């Protein structure tokens, strides 16, 4: 085994050990999937709800109401079902922390 292979294996071992670890920027990355419509960092430029600086409780309530169907929507009831509740908690906490 040469140096290249040894290092490659070391690299793979390192990666697999990390596979179950959470990315340090997971919340930021998840929230960024919302910003196409809701604005960079949740600052909408108009026509869509701004999410930045809203309380996590309020955002979470809205999303859970979309998920259950209690709150009627054109599209959010379909999108919210693509995210786990844990992911939604990370996303709402992140937006709540934005100024």
Partner 1 sequence: MFTRRDFLKTAGVAAAGSTTLAGLSACATVGGKARGHVVIVGGGYGGATTAKYLRMWSKGAVDVTLIERNPTFISCPISNLVIGGIKQMEDITVSYDNLKSKWGVKLITDEVTAVDSAKRTVTTAKHGTVGYDRLVLSPGIDFIPNAVAGLDGNEERVPHAWKAGPQTVLLRKQLQDMTDGGVFALHIPKVPYRCPPGPYERACVVANYLRQAKPKSKVLVLDANGEIQSKKALFTKAFESYKGMIEYVPNSELRGVDAASRTAELEFDKIKADVLNVIPPMRAGNIAMKAGLPLINDRWVDVDWLTLEAKGVPGVHVIGDALFPAPTMPKSGHMANQHGKVAAAAILNLFEGLAPNPTPVVMNTCYSFVDSKNVIHVASVHQYDAEKKQPMPVQGAGGVSMAANELEGKAALAWAKNIWADMLA
Residues that bind partner 1 (CB under 8 A): 3-4, 7-8, 10-11, 13-15, 18-26, 28-30, 32-33, 35-40, 44-48, 74-75, 78-83, 87
The answer to whether 57 touches 64, Cβ cutoff 8 Å, is: no
How crowded is residue 88: how many other Cβ atoms within 10 Å of its Cβ?
19
- The token pair that represents 60 in the structure block: 């979470």
Of 9 and 57, the one with the shorter C-beta distance to partner 1 is: 9
CB nearer to partner 1: pick between 58 and 81: 81
Dig out the tokens for 17 from the structure. 């050990």
Name the minimum Å distance from CB 57 to partner 1: 23
Cα separation, 15 vs 21, whole angstroms? 10
7 vs 55 by CB, closer to partner 1 = 7
* Neighbouring C-beta atoms of residue 63, cutoff 10 Å: 21
In whole angstroms, how close is the CB of 1 to partner 1 at the nearest point? 13
Cβ at position 97, least distance to partner 1 in Å: 15
């Amino acid at each position: 085994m040469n140096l290249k292979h040894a290092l490659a294996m070391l690299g793979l071992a390192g990666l697999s050990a990390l596979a179950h670890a959470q990315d340090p920027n997971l919340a930021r990355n998840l929230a960024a999937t919302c910003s196409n419509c809701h604005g960079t960092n949740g600052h909408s430029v108009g026509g869509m709800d701004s999410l930045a600086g809203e309380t996590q409780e309020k955002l979470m309530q809205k999303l859970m109401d979309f998920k259950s169907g209690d709150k009627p929507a054109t599209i959010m009831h379909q999108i919210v079902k693509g995210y786990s509740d844990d992911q939604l908690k990370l996303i709402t906490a992140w937006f709540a922390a934005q100024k």
